[in-house]
Structure 1
Amino acid sequence: MNIRNITNFDYLLFLAVSGLSVIGILFIYSSGVNADGVSMSNEYIKQLVWVISGLMFLFIVSIYDYTKIGDRAFLIFVLAMLLLVYTRFFGKSVKGATSWIGIGGFGIQVSEFTKIVYILYLAWYLSKSQNEKAFRRFLKAAVIMGIPMGLILLQPDLGTASVYLPIFLIMCFIAGLPLRYVFGLLGMTLCMVIFMLLPLWETTILHRPSLAVKVLGNKNIALLIIFSLMSAAVIAAIGNLLLKKQYYYWISYVFGIAAVALSGALVGSRVLKEYQMKRLIIFLDPQSDPRGAGWNIIQSMTAIGSGGKSGLGFLKGTQSHYRFLPEQSTDFIFSILSEEWGFLGGLLVFILYAVIFFRILWTIKKTDNLFGKLIASGVIGMLFFHFIVNIGMVMGFMPITGIPLLFLSYGGSSLWTAMIGIGLVIGISLRQL
C-alpha cells in the first residue's frame, strides 16, 4: 500500500508530541538543579538526544508501509520473547528489576520495546482470525498477552507488565470480541488484586484482624475454596449444555472468574515483592507509613499543592531542588511541572495529551484497514494507561507503580517506544484514501 496523500500527515499529532517532548527536556533540566541553582545532572542532554533520535524513528516508521509488518509479526514476536528470557537471566538489575541489557553505560529496557511488538502481533492475529469462534479467538489472544506479561513479571516489573492488560482489552473491544469476555478478564484482574492485597491491607490500614483475611490467608482453606468455586463453575457449565438455561451460563461465568482470580492471587503473593504490594495499597492512607512507602505520595502532593494557579516559576520549585521528591526526573516529573508552572502548566500538558488522544481516535475511526485500526487502538491504550496512571499516581489517586509519563519523563527506551507508536499511527493516517 503506497502513501495516498502527503497532506494526510498528521501535523497536529506531531506538534503535540513535539511540544510535550520539549516540556519534558525543560523539566528534566529543572530536576537536576540543586537548591543553589547549580545543575548537577546531564540527564537533559541525554533526553535531548533521545528526543531528536526518537523523532527520526517516528518519521522512518511513518514512511514504512505498516501492512508489510503483518507477515513478519510472528517472527518479531518470537525474537522479542527470546530477548525477554535473555534479559531475565543475563540482564542488568536496576531498582530491583532485571529489565536492562546493554554494553557499558548504554542500555535498553527490552520490555518497553516489546509493547510495540506485542501490539503488532496481537493486531495481526485479531485481524486474521475473524472467522474463528469468539471464545477460541479470545483465548489465543490472551495467550499472546500472557507470554510477555508473565516474563516481565518474573523480572519482576509490575508497572511495565500492567500496561499489557489495557492494551489487550481495548484491542479486543475494537476487534469485536464479546464484551462479556473483555469485562470478565477485567473483573478477574480486579478481584485477583483485591484478594492478593487483603492481608497487607489488614496490617497496614485496618490494624485489626478480619474474617476474610483469616480465610484467604490460610493456604489450605484457600485451595479448598478454589476447588469448590471451580467445581460449581463446571457443574453450572454442564447444566447450561444439557438444559440450555442461560442462568447456568452466568453462574459458571461468575464462579469461574472467582476461582481463577483467587488462584492468581495465591501465585501473585509469592511472585511480587512485599514493597511492590505495599505500594499498591499505601495510597489509601499514605500517612500510615509517612517515611516509608507513603513518602513519595506525600511529597508529590505537597509539590503539586504548592504550585497554585500559575506556579512558583521555572527553576524556583522547592520540593525538587531540595531533593524531597524521589525519582523526580522520571516517575514524578509532573509534580515538578505542577510546582513550577502550577495549574496552568498542568492544564497545558492535559490539552496536549488530549490532542494526541483525539487524533489517534480520529485515525481509528477513518481507517478502513482492520490491522491498522487495531494497531492504533493498541497505541492509544498504551499512551492513555501511562498518562492516567502516572497522573493519578502523583496526585495520590492511584498506587505508585513506576510507570513514566511518556514524552515527559526521563528515559530513552520509553520515549523511543512512544515515538515509534506515534509513527505507526501517522503511517496509518498517511495511507488513507
Structure 2
Amino acid sequence: MKLNLKFLQFFDFILFFCVAALVTFGILFIYSSGINSDGENVSSEYVKQIIWGGSGMLMMLGVSLLDYRRFNRYIPQIFAAACAVLIFTKFFGRYVNGARSWLGIGPFGIQPSEFTKVVFILFLAWYLDKTKKTQDQRKRFIISLFIMFIPMGLILAQPDLGTSLVYFPIFLAMTFIAGIPVRYILFIFLGGMMTITFTVLPIWESQIAHHSVIFIRVLTNTTLRLILIFATGSIGVLSMLGMFFYRHNKYFYWISYFAAIFCGALIFSYFAGKVLKEYQVMRLIVFIDPYADPRGAGWNIIQSKTAIGSGNLLGRGYLQGTQSHYRFLPEQSTDFIFSILSEELGFVGCMAVFALYFLIFMRTIFIIKNASNTFGLMIASGVLGMFVFHFLVNVGMVMGIMPITGIPLLFLSYGGSSLWTAMICVGLLMSVSSRKFGF
C-alpha cells in the first residue's frame, strides 16, 4: 500500500493523460481511414492499434516503475545486442516498402530500428555521463559521433533513410545538453545541411529549372567539383599549418573550420547523388515542386494539402472526410494520419493536438531541468530530440514544407513498433521524473 501511494504521489499524470489522449485520437482516425466512400469499414487496423495502445500503456507504466539507474551496468551489452539484431535484419529481415527492416513470423512483425532508438539513447547517455569529467571535449564528441554512426549506418544499409535520420537530432540534443562545445555540434549540423543543399541543387537544375545555372555547374561537372575540393582542402591544410605556427591567431582556426565543412559537403554530396534511389530523388523533386509530377510522386503532397485546406476552421466532421474515404491519400493511416485529422476536425482540432504535443515537450524540458543526475538528464534530452523531430518532420511533410521521409507521427500513426518505442520513452521520462523525489 505504501509503494502504491508513493507511486501515485510522484506519478506524472500530465504525461500520462497527454499520451492517452493522443493514442485515442490515433485510434479514432485510424478507424476513419478504414472507411470507404460507401461508409463501410474495410480495415481492421484500428483493432490492432487498440491492442498495441493497450499493451504500450502497460509497457509505459512498467518502465516508469523501474529505476532507470539500474540499467547502467547492462547498457553496453544491450547496445551490442541491438546492433547484432540490425545486422541480422539486414540479411534475413522482411522487405517492406523497399527496405529489409522487419523481423517477424507470419502476420506479426516488429521493426528493430525503432527499438534501437531507445537503446541508442541509453547508451549515449551512459557514455556522456561516464566521461563528463575524464575526457577532453573533442575526444568525447568524436566518440559520441562514432556511437551514432554505428546504428545509423546499419539502418541506412537496409536501406531505411527516414528512420536513420531520427538518430541525428537525438545526437545533437544530447551532446548539446552534455556541454559539448557548440562549434563541434555546428560543424556536424552545418555540414549536414550543406551536403543536403549540394545534393538537391543539381536535381533542381535538371528537373525543375530546366536550364543551366552557372554556380551549380560546379556541382554537375566532376572535373570542376574535384578542382574545388582540392582548392578548399588545400586552404584547410594551410590554415592548420598557420594554427601550428601562430597559435594565438584564431583566424586560421575558423578558416580551416569552414573549409573542412565546405570540402566535406562537396565530397559527401557527390556520393549522396550516386546512392540516392529514383524514388528518393523524386521525393526531393516534388518537395521543391509537387506539380513536377502531380499524378506520380507529387500526388501524396497535393492530396494532403487539399485535405488540410478543406478542413477550414471546424472541419468536415468526424468520419465525413472525402480525401481519405475516396482513397486519395496513400499511406493515410501511417504517414498522413494528420491530414485526415485536419480535414475532419479542422484548425481547432489541429490546435488541440498541437497543444497536447506542446505539453509533452514542456513537461520533458521540466524533467530535464530537474533531473537528479547526468544520466537521467541525458536520457530525457535524447527523448525530447526524438519526439520534436518526429513531430516537426511529419507535420511539415503533410503540409508540404518538408520532404516525404516516411517518418510516423508518434502516438497517432498506425504501427506497433513506433508506438511501443514512444511509450517506452515516456516510461523512461516518468522514471527519471519520479527518481528526483527518491521514489
Q: Contact (CA 8 Å) 1:35, 1:321: kept in 2 or not?
A: yes
Q: Which residue of 2 aligns with 1:137?
A: 140
The match for 2:325 is 321
Measure, in 2, the Cα distance between the counterparts of 1:80 and 1:223. 39
Give how far 1:368 is off: 2.4
Q: CA deviation at 1:98?
A: 1.1
Residue number among 103, 106, 109 corresponding to 2:108 in the alignment: 106
Match of 1:389, as an amino acid? V
Deviations 1:38-89 (A, max 9, x none): 0000000000000011111101111111111122111111111111111111
**Cα displacement (A) at 1:326:** 1.1
How many angstroms apart in 2 are the aligned matches of 1:256 and 1:351?
A: 41
- The answer to whether the 8 Å contact 2:66/2:431 transfers is yes
Residue segments in structure 1 that go unaligned for 5+ positions in a row = none
Task: Tell me the TM-score normalized by structure 1.
Answer: 0.97
Query: Does 2:337 match 1:333?
Result: yes
In structure 1, the partner of 2:277 is 273
User: Structure 2 residue aligned with 1:225, among 221, 228, 237?
Assistant: 228
Q: 1:3 to 1:257 in 2, by over 3 A?
A: farther
Q: Report how far residue 267 of structure 1 moved.
A: 2.1
Distance 2:63 2:252 in 1: 49
Whole-Å Cα distance in 1 between the matches of residues 237 and 4 of structure 2?
52
Q: Does the 8 A contact of 2:285 with 2:292 survive in 1?
A: no
Q: Does 1:155 find its partner at 2:163?
A: no
Q: 2:256 aligns with which of 252, 255, 266?
A: 252
Cα distance in 2, alignment partners of residues 222 and 146 from structure 1: 26
C-alpha contact 1:201 1:281 (8 A) present in aligned 2? yes
2:16 matches 1:18: no
The one-letter code sitting in structure 1 at the alignment partner of 2:245 is: L
Q: Equivalent residue for 1:408?
A: 412
Tell me whether 1:180 sits opposite 2:186 in the alignment.
no
Q: 1:373 corresponds to which residue? A: 377
Distance 2:274 2:67 in 1: 44
Shift of 1:302: 0.3
Q: Post-superposition shift, 1:90? A: 1.2
Q: Deviations over 1:130-165 (max 9, x none)?
A: 131111110000001111111111111111111111
Q: Give the distance between the partners of 1:280 and 1:369, measured in 2 at CA.
A: 42
Answering whether residue 423 of structure 2 is matched by residue 428 of structure 1, we say no
The answer for the alignment partner of 1:63 in structure 2 is 65
Note if 1:80 corresponds to 2:82. Answer: yes
Shift of 1:282: 1.9
Aligned position for 1:264:
268
2:345 partner amino acid: W
In 1, the alpha carbon distance for the partners of 2:15 and 2:423 equals 11
**What is the match of residue 354 of structure 1?**
358
Task: Name the aligned partner's letter for residue 377 of structure 2.
Answer: K
State the alpha-carbon separation in 1 of the partners of residues 103 and 222 from structure 2. 37
Q: Provide the C-alpha distance between the structure 1 equivalents of 2:54 and 2:431, rounded to a whole number of angstroms.
A: 19
Which amino acid is the alignment partner of residue 260 of structure 2? G
One-letter code of the match for 2:211? R
**Where do residues 266-305 of structure 1 align in structure 2 (5 Å cutoff)?**
266-305=270-309
Label 1:3 to 1:123 Cα distance change in 2 as closer, same or farther (>3 A). Answer: farther
Give the Cα separation in 2 of the matches to 1:83 and 1:67. 24
Q: How many residues align?
A: 432
**Secondary structure in 2 aligned to 1:310?**
coil
**2:208 matched to which residue of 1?**
205
Contact 2:102 2:110 in 1 (8 A): yes
The amino acid of 2:45's aligned partner reads E
Q: CA deviation at 1:318?
A: 0.3
Identity of aligned residues (%): 55
Tell me, what secondary structure is at the counterpart of 1:166?
helix
Which of 236, 243, 246 lines up with 1:243 in the alignment? Answer: 246
Distance in 2 between the 1:242 and 1:9 partners? Answer: 59
Contact kept? 1:173, 1:182, Cα under 8 Å:
yes
Letter in 1 for 2:96: V
Please tell me whether the aligned partners of residues 3 and 430 of structure 1 are also in contact (alpha carbons under 8 angstroms): no
Post-superposition CA distance 1:8-28 (Å, at most 9, x none): 211111100000000000000
CA contact (8 A) 2:60 2:423 kept: yes
Kindly state the Cα deviation for residue 5 of structure 1 after the two structures are TM-superposed. 4.5
Equivalent of 2:169 in 157, 166, 171: 166
Compute the RMSD of aligned alpha carbons: 1.5
1:230 CA displacement: 2.1
1:243-277 CA deviation, whole Å, 9 max, x = no partner? 01100000000001111122211222222212113
Q: State the alpha-carbon separation in 1 of the partners of residues 267 and 20 from structure 2.
A: 44
Q: Partner of 1:120 in structure 2?
A: 122
Distance verdict in 2 for CA 1:281–1:373, change over 3 Å: farther
Alpha-carbon offset, residue 3 of structure 1: 11
Give per-residue Cα distances to partners, 1:204-228, cap 9 Å, x unaligned: 2211122344322233432343233
Partner SS for 2:101: strand
Q: Which moved more, 1:407-416 or 1:7-16?
A: 7-16
1:4: Cα distance to partner? 11
Describe the SS at the equivalent of 1:304: helix
Which whole-Å CA distance do the structure 1 matches of 2:282 and 2:38 have between them? 35
Q: Compute the displacement of 1:279 (Å).
A: 1.0
CA distance in 1, matches of 2:278, 2:193: 19
Contact 1:3–1:431 (CA under 8 A) maintained in structure 2? no
Indicate whether 1:345 and 2:357 are aligned.
no
Q: Within 2, Cα distance between the matches of 1:281 and 1:263?
A: 22
TM-score normalised by L of structure 2: 0.96
Q: Secondary structure of the residue that 1:283 maps to in structure 2? A: helix
- Once residues 101 and 49 of structure 1 are traced to their aligned partners in structure 2, the CA distance between those partners, rounded to angstroms, is 19
Paired amino acid for 1:127: D
Displacement of 1:238: 1.8
